[in-house]
Each structure stands twice: as structure tokens, then as C-alpha cells.
Amino acid sequence: MSRPKNKPVTYADTGVDIEAGDRMVSMIERHMRRTYGPRVLGRHGAFAGCFRLDFNEKLFKRNYRDPVLVSCTDGVGTKVKLASQLKIYDTIGQDLVAMSVNDLIVQGAEPLFFLDYLAVNKLDPQIGTQIVAGVADGCVQADCALLGGETAEMPDLYTPGDFDLGGFAVGVCELKRLVTGSRAQAGDVILGLASTGIHSNGYSLVRAIVKQAKLDLNKTYPDLDSHQTLGRVLLTPTRIYAKPIVSILRKYTVKQVTTAMSHITGGGLPGNIPRTLGTHLNARISLKSWDAPPIFGFLKRHGRVAQGEMHKVFNMGIGYVMIVRPHFAESVKHQLSRLGEQVWTLGKVVKGTGRLILS
């Protein structure tokens, strides 16, 4: 039906619902507030969030003498397509937080606050609130504040049901405590922290395998060793390593036992460990040193994916790597285990040319 020539055009006619956005702002307030600590200033719904950095030592645990702000931004890739397809929205927010804060702690920083960006075709406040609740869950796990965000309704850019997420994290580190990898040397021990599965990288390949092999996302497969459907297994949220890593770094206030770290994302172990070692060292890792979750073997078999391709695309069960001085390796490993992490000794750093050697 054509529009009468003299009818006024409204924003709602274009597919944008301002009132839905206002409702969502109100609905997410309680989720944001559970991430707040005493360093958060201002009120909910303000134009910008405020976070106190230099603070009264009597009120807070520590002051920074020479603070360095560390920032990261990331998304969750095409995992959002899977969440949209399955209409499961309560886990993808944790993925968003993890992808940024896990990068941030690699430099030795503690996460301070997080901002999210949600873009949709048409805003459903209930779905939007589920997504933001997941973001808040991730912030609680990372011990950072969800300080603000933006929701954009863009019917011309996104098809019905589609959405995308972006995240932005800011942390702080004492200058002399920055972890850059420059102190790594031959003989250092490589510790690997277990992932919860695929995390948030490689989902274009995952979705291609599901389609080509005609796998049913709503089916439970016995060889996955899980009571969950394939879809639920694939949507397992990314593990957040912030609290245990920050705890370990704070424990050693004099000796800097951690020489390098890596968040294992796109590119897998070969693409991420050498990033922090420099061109004069190699990382030598034994493939027999850890157990990969069943989902990786499942995808490899059904997609007939080469082993080298699997390691290039996926984390293969190792979500985070710490490289530590040999004398402290067992102690750090024990402490991480007590903090709830599953940890393996993967190998050692050797002299080389900036490569990962898998054997």
C-alpha cells in the first residue's frame, strides 16, 4: 500500500523504535549495577560513565604510582549468527567481555571497566536485556564495571533477527609491571590454561562444517561426551581468565616471574604465542601434554579438516598461555589450580627465530 502523499513521516516508519530503546535502558539497569564498585561515579543513563582511577588509599586497596592505561576492543565474530539461529542470547555477552579482557590481561593489566555496542535490525528489549545480562555476567567474572554502552537499531543494514556485538575494555597497569615479553628467555616454562571449548574464533569454519556435514544443532551427539545439544556445546561461552591471572601477578610484587603471556584466539597456538616472544626465541610444545575437548575431534572428523588447519584456526583446548621462570613454574601451576584453572605444562622456550614448534 502506498503512503498518502501528505502523511508526515516518523522515525517509527523507518523501523526505529525509540520507546523500545528507552524500555531496554530501564531493564538493563539492575544488570549494570551489579558490576559497580566504589570507583564508579555518576548515575545510570548519563551521557558518559565515570570511573575513578587515582583514589584515596584509605578507601581503596592500592594507588598507582606510574599508571599505564591499557585498552582493547573486539567482537565475537559469526558466533552471533549461531546464537541468533538458535535463539539463545544469554551467553554471547560473556564471550564479548572475554575477548577483550583476556587480551588486556596479557599486558599485565587489571580490567577496570567495559563498554558494549549492540547493533540490531529491530530492537526487542527482552532479547537485548538477555544479551546485556550476559555482558554483566562476564564483567562480574572479570571484576570490572559495565560502565555504559550503545544500542543501535538499523533496519537498513541488518536483516530481521540479525545482530552484532562490539566490546571495549580499559584496564591499568603499573609501568614497571607491564608484561611485554621482552624478558622472556630460553628455558622459561610454558603453561597452558584450559579453554571451555571453541571460545569465539573460527565460527565461519564451524558453521561451514555444520552445513556441509548436515549436522543437527538440536541433536545430542554421543561422541561429544556431553548431555547438551550440539548447538549448546558450540555456544559454550569463552572462559574469562582475568581474576586468576591478576591474582598471580599481584602475588609477586618484587620478583617478576611471568615473562610473557598469550590469549589464544584466531590463529591458535602457532599464531599467538610467538607474538609475545620476539624473533630470537621459539616456543617448543608437546602435543601430548594436554587433552583437547571432544568438540575439536568432532569437528575435525565431520569436516575432514587437516590437523594443521585445526591448530591454525582453533585454540584446541588451550585458551590462555603463561610463560614463567623455571624455578617458579610448579608454584604458579599449583596456584592456578587452586584458583579453579586446569593447567598443563606444555613445553619450554628455546632459542630460535620467532616460531612455535609442535611436536
Q: How confident is the model at residue 139 (pLDDT cuts 50, 70, 90)?
A: very high
Distance from C-alpha of 96 to C-alpha of 260, rounded to nearest angstrom: 24
What tens digit of pLDDT does each residue of 289-343 get? Answer: 999 999 999 999 999 999 999 999 999 999 999 999 999 999 999 999 999 999 9
What tens digit of pLDDT does each residue of 67-102 get? Answer: 899 999 999 999 999 999 999 999 999 999 999 999
pLDDT at 227: 87
Q: How confident is the model at residue 40 (pLDDT cuts 50, 70, 90)?
A: confident
**pLDDT at 61 > cutoff 60:** no
CB-based contacts of 75: which residues, under 8 Å, 6+ apart? Answer: 96, 99, 164, 165, 166, 167
**pLDDT at 116 > cutoff 70:** yes
Strand, helix or coil for residue 12: helix
**pLDDT at 2 > cutoff 60:** no
CB atoms within 10 A of CB 311: 19
CB atoms within 10 A of CB 187: 11
Ordered by where they begin, the domains of the chain are 12-177 (3.30.1330.10), 189-358 (3.90.650.10)
Distance from C-alpha of 123 to C-alpha of 17, rounded to nearest angstrom: 7
Helix, strand, coil shares of the chain as percentages rounded to 5? 35, 20, 40
Helices (H) and strands (E) in the chain, counts: 12, 12
Do 120 and 17 contact (CB within 8 A), yes or no?
Answer: no
Distance from C-alpha of 334 to C-alpha of 337, rounded to nearest angstrom: 5
Query: Three cell numbers at 111?
Result: 580490567
**pLDDT at 193 > cutoff 60:** yes
pLDDT at 29: 73
Write the CA distances from 142 to 64, 105, 110, 161, 250, integer angstroms. 20, 10, 9, 29, 15
Q: What is the layout of strands, in order, in the sheet containing 189-194?
A: 258-263, 318-324, 189-194, 343-351, 281-285, 356-358
